[in-house]
Structure 1
Amino acid sequence: MPVRSRIFPLAVPVLLVLGGAAVAQTAPAASRAAAVSARPDEATRQAAERLAGAFRLSSADGERRCDVTLAAQPSGGGFAVAFDAATCAAISFAAQVSAWVPDVSGSIRLLNAQGRTVAEFTEATGGSFEALKEGDGVYFLGPPSAADGPPATPEEVMGEWLLARQPGVTVCRWTLTDTPGPRGSYRVQVAPGCDELLTRFGPNAWELSGGNILVRGVADGSTIRFARQEDGTWTRIPERNRPLIMTRP
């Protein structure tokens, strides 16, 4: 019997047989698969070489963290990534990651085996990157040294602080006191003259949480979390295009 050839339109699934199993795949999907296996271009390779190195992946509260190595070796449509399997098991999306790529915006994207973005980390401060995972919270990707120091103590952070949106431009002054506040926290004493956003927030209480300073507002129970930097300052996390830096006067 003669074999009839037929040309399938792009919208019609093409049936592939892999190892005896039938798998439906559309032509656009096949194109995406081909793109995943493509080698990164020269500009992307150079960006990967600048960013490659050892990182610490951690949740915002610091309770879940693990070591990650981003390599400059092409792999899986991006570049090779290595996780500490034992410690990274606590971070649910880590098991899905098989490669990474530097984005043109300056961010770091972690990819799964199909080349889809599992998490996108945008540049923050101090060589760190941050990502929001819907339903799971904020995660950070930063230099291990930033997380390896001894945890801060209440006595270390108590006292007066200046707050700035950018270095050298003070927008508020407050004191983290040792006066007991609600639920094991301490009171915040705010000096007159804070900018409108902080006045509306109404800093009221503070505590240490997961190695970070957590400041609570009076308005609606909202909070601002600060992470310690290597230079001794504390910066708001996640930044979300609204930086806030705490420095000693």
Structure 2
Amino acid sequence: MSVRRFSIVAVLLAIAGGAGPASSQDASSLKQEMIGQWELATTERSKTCVVTLKGDATAQGLKLELEPSCPAALPFTKDIAAWNIKGLDIVRLQNAAGEPVIDFTEVESGIFEGHRTGEGVYILQNLAAARALAKSMDQMIGDWSMVRGNGQAICGLTLTNTEAGQDNFQVFLKPKCDPAVTAFAPTVWRLDHGQMLLMSEKGETWQFEADDNAQWRKVPDTAAPLIMLRDQ
């Protein structure tokens, strides 16, 4: 074997030899990150279930506990007996035979998404974060005023918790809104990455960011700002 060929083979063997521990480390890190309480829910959170993932090994995989109300909320959870990490990044909730009930992959930090054929998408999220989001949503529901930077009110809106699909909720304009708002005609709203989004049936979106607990400013900011204020 030539020196050149030996060198190439040595490099390939070194890479192959190093791949195992690296993969194991990634899976091990994910396992540690997953231990704790999680909320398993439909995308709009109309049905939820608390799952506690543990690090203890069982004959089926890793131990978990489901809230007693889980099967009533999400019937497929009655088949879940354990959990495990598959590959580098799949969080699997599995049955007693080790077969997948639902597989999750991380779609953004701390939020995992899984799909069940014929049922749709489910979300697995850290319980504390999920409850904080729910609290934020509850605080948003109700009557709001849209005002200009000088404080002049130009429209009244009601944000509801009535589901409108794709994680959106219905919003209603009150009479006598400014023509610009009437032309925009938002029909749904949602919270997304710290922003409040108002969206129209035409596909137009207005984005607002909070600058204190009760005031949301339209972004990007302009010389004639629009602000959403919660009605007292």
Taking structure 1 as the reference length, the TM-score comes to 0.48
Q: What letter is aligned with 2:63? A: A
Question: Residues of 1 paired with 2:127 and 2:171: CA distance?
Answer: 29
1:136–1:42 distance in 2 versus 1, CA, 3 Å? same
CA drift at 1:129: 0.7
1:45–1:89 distance in 2 versus 1, CA, 3 Å? farther
The reply to whether residue 137 of structure 1 matches residue 124 of structure 2 is no
SS in 2 for 1:148: helix
- Structure 1 partner of 2:187: 205
CA drift at 1:247: 7.8
Question: Residues of 2 paired with 1:148 and 1:73: CA distance?
Answer: 26
Question: Residues of 2 paired with 1:62 and 1:48: CA distance?
Answer: 25
- Structure 1 partner of 2:38: 55
Alignment coverage as a number of residue pairs: 155
Q: What letter is aligned with 2:103? A: E
Of residues 185, 204, 208, the one that matches 2:171 is 185
Q: What letter is aligned with 2:44? A: D
Of residues 47, 65, 68, the one that matches 1:64 is 47
The reply to whether residue 78 of structure 1 matches residue 61 of structure 2 is yes
Which stretches in structure 1 are left out of the alignment for 5+ residues? 1-40, 161-176, 192-201, 225-231, 233-245
Q: What letter is aligned with 1:114? A: A
Which stretches in structure 2 are left out of the alignment for 5+ residues? 1-22, 148-154, 163-169, 174-179, 206-212, 222-232
Q: How does 1:27-176 map to 2 (within 5 A)?
A: 44=27, 47-149=30-132, 150=135, 151-154=138-141
Question: Residues of 1 paired with 2:45 and 2:77: CA distance?
Answer: 16
CA drift at 1:63: 1.4
Confirm or deny: 8 A CA contact 1:76 1:115 kept in the other structure. Answer: no
* Structure with the largest fraction of helix: 2
Q: Considering only aligned residues, what root-mean-square deviation do their CA atoms show, in Å?
A: 4.2
Question: Residues of 2 paired with 1:115 and 1:179: CA distance?
Answer: 50
1:215–1:46 distance in 2 versus 1, CA, 3 Å? same
Q: What letter is aligned with 2:188? A: W
1:90–1:158 distance in 2 versus 1, CA, 3 Å? farther
Confirm or deny: 8 A CA contact 1:97 1:118 kept in the other structure. Answer: yes
Taking structure 2 as the reference length, the TM-score comes to 0.51
Question: Residues of 2 paired with 1:203 and 1:106: CA distance?
Answer: 42
Q: What letter is aligned with 2:85? A: P
Query: Identity over the aligned pairs, expressed in percent?
Result: 22
Q: What letter is aligned with 2:171? A: S
1:217–1:53 distance in 2 versus 1, CA, 3 Å? same
1:205–1:115 distance in 2 versus 1, CA, 3 Å? same
Confirm or deny: 8 A CA contact 1:70 1:82 kept in the other structure. Answer: yes
